[in-house]
Amino acid sequence: MSNLMRAALLREFGPASNLTIEKIPVPLPATGQLLIKVRAAGINPVDYKTRTGKGLPARELELPAILGWDIAGEVVSLGEGVSRFNRNERVFGMSNFPHAGNAYAEYAIVREDEFALIPAAVSDEVAAATPLAALTAWEALFDQGELGAGQKILIHAAAGGVGHIAVQLAKWKGAYVVGTASQQNHALLHELGVDQALDYRTQDFTTAVNDIDVVLDGIGGDNTLRSIDVLKPGGVVICLPSMYKDDPAILAKAAAKNVRVKWMVVSPSGERMGQVAALLASGDLKIKVDQTFPLEDVAKAHEAVETGHVSGKVVLVI
């Protein structure tokens, strides 16, 4: 192994073209850490928002930085005290969020308690597409939304990265699922198990559904305001975009209707990744990889996610 590795560095916030491939030293693992040979790295909307300098992770970042949090790869070496993994095992997880995750590189240092083993039948690309979106969907549905069997959930952007996973987790739990997506993605929604698919371009969800227990809203703003209208009393909207956190108009409307609005920042968890791995292994959860790009094309990969019209996930193959 050479002491240098290729990595996509961000030296200043701005457009995708600011991501440059450079050679930098391979890092060394400290106590409780693993050195991973990265095989694939997932790209999420938070990646490009951070690149432009927006949101919580951007405030935590010291430039130059290596972006990305979703890592799948092999364990190369172990820091002191590591007991959960051995060399050459395939592992995946969301690394160090919301601090720098350093995913867009040939090697990365990760904490062993944030990672889990990749099931044998799952590819590196699928494994890399999973962590942030699956952890977000799980935490939103079950921790924040307390979704249970027989409840009704409305999932906005149900064909997107978080959305298509949330649909499957909600069905696995026994919920009735309404999902919004453009018409071209309705076949995918039905395949995932959506009970009622709505075309957000031609249908107004506020007249199409009511008595909803939980809304998962990855859009925010006006969409959150309108989502309050379809909730039953005591229901909850989980709003993923953090820029709307504690918006007074949203909070006032929720209070008037006797419903709750929650914002959340997803946390890494190796234990939860183990639960997700079990669902991948059993076939209860399938992750759709829409496009893959080599590390050199990281800027193109960012642009693809930025359009907002990806169905499933975009992955860098290292």
Distances (CA, A) of 218 to 229, 254, 272, 308: 17, 17, 21, 11
User: Going by C-beta distance under 8 Å and a sequence separation of 6 or more, which residues neighbour residue 207?
Assistant: none
Domain boundaries, the chain: 4-130+287-317, 133-263
Per-residue confidence band for 22, with pLDDT thresholds at 50, 70 and 90: very high
| Among 12, 7, 29, 269, CA closest to 134 | 269
pTM of the model: 0.95
- 286, two tokens: 């399938």
* 215-226 residue pLDDT tens: 999 999 899 999
> How far is residue 95's CA from residue 109's CA, in Å, rounded to a whole number?
9
Residue 77, pLDDT > 80, answer yes
- 87, two tokens: 């060399």
What is the reported pLDDT for 310? 80
Cα maximum dimension of the chain = 62
Residue 318, pLDDT > 90, answer yes
Q: Residue 202, Cβ neighbours under 10 Å: how many?
A: 8
Architecture of domain 133-263: 3-Layer(aba) Sandwich (3.40)
> How far is residue 66's CA from residue 77's CA, in Å, rounded to a whole number?
20
Q: Which 8-state DSSP code applies to residue 105?
A: B
* 2-20 residue pLDDT tens: 799 999 999 999 999 999 9
What is the identity of the amino acid at 130? Answer: T
Contact predicate 117/277, CB 8 Å: yes
Q: Where are the beta strands (DSSP E) in the chain?
A: 4-10, 19-25, 33-43, 65-66, 70-78, 90-94, 107-111, 115-117, 152-155, 176-181, 196-199, 212-217, 231-239, 260-263, 289-294, 313-317
* 178-204 residue pLDDT tens: 999 999 999 999 999 999 999 999 999
Q: Residue 106, Cβ neighbours under 10 Å: how many?
A: 20
User: Going by C-beta distance under 8 Å and a sequence separation of 6 or more, which residues neighbour residue 140?
Assistant: 162, 166, 216, 238, 240, 264
What is the reported pLDDT for 243? 77
* 237-287 residue pLDDT tens: 999 987 778 889 999 999 999 999 999 989 999 999 999 999 999 999 999
Mean pLDDT of the chain: 95
What is the reported pLDDT for 134? 98
What is the reported pLDDT for 80? 95
What is the reported pLDDT for 1? 64
What is the reported pLDDT for 263? 93
Q: What are the beta bridge partners of residue 292?
A: 315
Residue 309, pLDDT > 90, answer no
> How far is residue 187's CA from residue 193's CA, in Å, rounded to a whole number?
10
Residue 149, pLDDT > 90, answer yes
Residue 23, pLDDT > 80, answer yes
What is the reported pLDDT for 307? 86
Q: What is the percent of the chain with per-residue pLDDT over 70, rounded to a whole number?
A: 100
Burial of residue 200 (CB within 10 Å: 0-12, 13-18, 19+) is: middle
* The domains spanning 4-130+287-317 and 133-263 adopt the same CATH topology: no
Residue 40 sits at the vertex; the CA angle it makes with 37 and 45, to the nearest 5 degrees, is 130
Per-residue confidence band for 155, with pLDDT thresholds at 50, 70 and 90: very high
Architecture of domain 4-130+287-317: Alpha-Beta Complex (3.90)
